[in-house]
Amino acid sequence: MKPANSVLMSYGTTIFTVMSALAAEHGSINLGQGFPDSEGPEDILQKAADAVVAGPNQYPPMMGIPALRQAVASANQRFYDLNVDWQTEVMVTSGATEALADSMLGLIEPGDEVVLIEPLYDSYLPMVRRAGGVPKLVRLEPPAWELPRDALRDAFSPKTKLILLNSPHNPAGKVFHRDELDFIAGLVKEFDAIAVCDEVYEHLVFDGQPHIPLMTLPGMRDRCLRIGSAGKTFSVTGWKVGYVTAVPELLTPVAKAHQFVTFTTPPNLQAAAAYGLGKDDAYFEALAGDLQGKRDLLADGLRDIGFEVMQTEGTYFLSVDIRSVGFNEDDEAFCRHITTEAGVTAVPVSAFYQQADVDHYARFCFCKDDALLSEALERLKKHFG
Ligand code: PMP
Ligand code: GLN
């Protein structure tokens, strides 16, 4: 047989799948792959169920159903004071993952340079490379996850097509602050580039901090694509409903990819996401407040056991330094070890770097029932305590 695509074939199975399978095999509490252990808000589920029975169930419009595009435009206005034309500036995709892939396929011309900030969500690098982009990596490193400004500036060149920015950041739990965003915006403008902004955790930000879309900075409205996800905002990760906001000049090429990749997204899930985005502020505040409590529960418990815990300002992930409990092998060994020996699963942070040399941090997911988090802490305490 002739060889398949060499870029994609060079990657193994994603770490999330590997660790979830290991957790299932050992009956371990799975704090690895990021997903809530609840079903999402009852009223939103009901909307999806009603919409499938009432129909229509045939192909919805390629750009997404009007109700969801309008809801995305309104949410942009409500949360960020962004004035968005729902007809020309919003597109619905099958998850943020598809929106990211469409962005790479639609915007990158082979040979274009793409600036990426490690640690990276797993689909970024393969899709950039598959689209013919030349990755220019800069890295955030624990424990501080500080933006390396000199390295970032050096990564930009006249060949830079775009930067992929994830804030709030998975797995770092970092929320990019205004001064960092100003710096990034300055480079994007100086090098006449585009920013693809993965903001799937936009509503999962803690301690009263704001989430600031790069798109809201001066001169950035027409240089940014902003990607959101109903999976994260409504705790329904299996739904895979994403949405992209951008000026028509940027959205059109991304829509070209979308029309050939999936063309549409299930209409009932779009209708339910539209309903969800219309929920009052109390819903969004409770979502973040509830998760903040879970972050504190898990972080405090892990510190009691002796772990050094990295600060998490957003997302539903936190990372620990595994050496702080005297574990001297690498992070992958640690995640396997606690799965089989303690009955708790995490994912190794090294999996988010191209070179796995930052290899003594593990990421735990905390969007779980408090009782389950407490049980996981008990197990870890028994093992390490
Ligand atoms: N980006 C990041 C940073 C994520 O953590 C996730 C979650 N899997 C996604 C994108 C994908 O989102 P979706 O499930 O909507 O495809
Ligand atoms: N975003 C989730 C995480 O980081 C996993 C998504 C996936 O399994 N592809 O854990």
Taking CA atoms only, the protein residue closest to ligand 2 atom 4 is: 34
Atom of ligand 2 nearest to the CA of 122: 9
Tell me if the pTM is above 0.95.
Answer: yes
Q: What is the Å distance from ligand 1's center to 34 Cα?
A: 9
Among all ligands shown, which has an atom nearest to the Cα of 170? 1
Q: Considering 218, 244, 279, which residue would you say is the last residue of a domain?
A: 279
CA distance 248 to 122: 28
Determine the structural domain holding residue 343 and report its residue range.
Answer: 6-40+282-384
**Sign of the CA dihedral with 322 first, then 335, 129, and 184 last:** negative
Q: What is the Å distance from ligand 2's center to 55 Cα?
A: 31
Q: Say whether both 267 and 131 belong to one domain.
A: yes
Write out the E strands in 199-327. 224-229, 242-245, 308-309, 317-321
Q: Say whether both 262 and 328 belong to one domain.
A: no
Q: Say whether both 315 and 376 belong to one domain.
A: yes
- Best substitution site from 103, 125, 170, 226 to test ligand 1's pocket, by max atoms within 8 Å of Cβ? 170
H or E stretch covering 73: helix 66-80
Q: Please report, for the domain that includes residue 379, its CATH number.
A: 3.90.1150.10
Backbone φ and ψ for 224, nearest 5 degrees, come out as -115, 145
DSSP 46: H
- The one-letter amino acid at 106: G
Residue 134 maps to a domain = yes
Q: Considering 264, 279, 294, which residue would you say is the last residue of a domain?
A: 279
Name every residue whose Cβ is closer than 8 Å to that of residue 98 and which is 6 or more positions away in sequence: 240, 242, 258, 261, 262
Domain count across the chain: 2
Q: Say whether both 236 and 373 belong to one domain.
A: no
Q: Say whether both 21 and 163 belong to one domain.
A: no
Residue 328 maps to a domain = yes
Write out residues with Cβ below 6 Å of ligand 1: 95-97, 121, 166, 170, 198, 200, 229, 231, 237, 240, 242
Q: ∠ CA(335), CA(39), CA(25), 5° rounding?
A: 30
Residue among 40, 92, 59, 86 at smallest CA distance from 240: 92
Q: What is the Å distance from ligand 2's center to 121 Cα?
A: 8
- Per-run averaged pLDDT (10 residues), the chain, 385 residues: 96 93 97 96 98 98 98 98 98 98 98 98 97 98 95 98 98 98 98 98 97 98 98 98 98 98 98 98 98 98 98 98 96 97 97 91 98 98 93
Q: What is the Å distance from ligand 2's center to 351 Cα?
A: 12
Q: What is the pLDDT of residue 337?
A: 97
Q: Say whether both 117 and 180 belong to one domain.
A: yes
Atom of ligand 1 nearest to the CA of 121: 3
Among all ligands shown, which has an atom nearest to the Cα of 202? 1
Residue among 95, 81, 82 at smallest CA distance from 127: 95
Name every residue whose Cβ is closer than 8 Å to that of residue 81 and which is 6 or more positions away in sequence: 216
H or E stretch covering 182: helix 178-190
CA distance 349 to 114: 22
Q: Considering 213, 248, 279, which residue would you say is the last residue of a domain?
A: 279
Residue 1 maps to a domain = no
Token pair recorded at residue 13:
């199975």
* Ligand 2 neighbour 33 (Cβ under 6 A): yes
Among all ligands shown, which has an atom nearest to the Cα of 15? 2
Residue 346 maps to a domain = yes
Token pair recorded at residue 293:
């409590």
**Sign of the CA dihedral with 236 first, then 238, 241, and 244 last:** positive
Q: Say whether both 70 and 112 belong to one domain.
A: yes
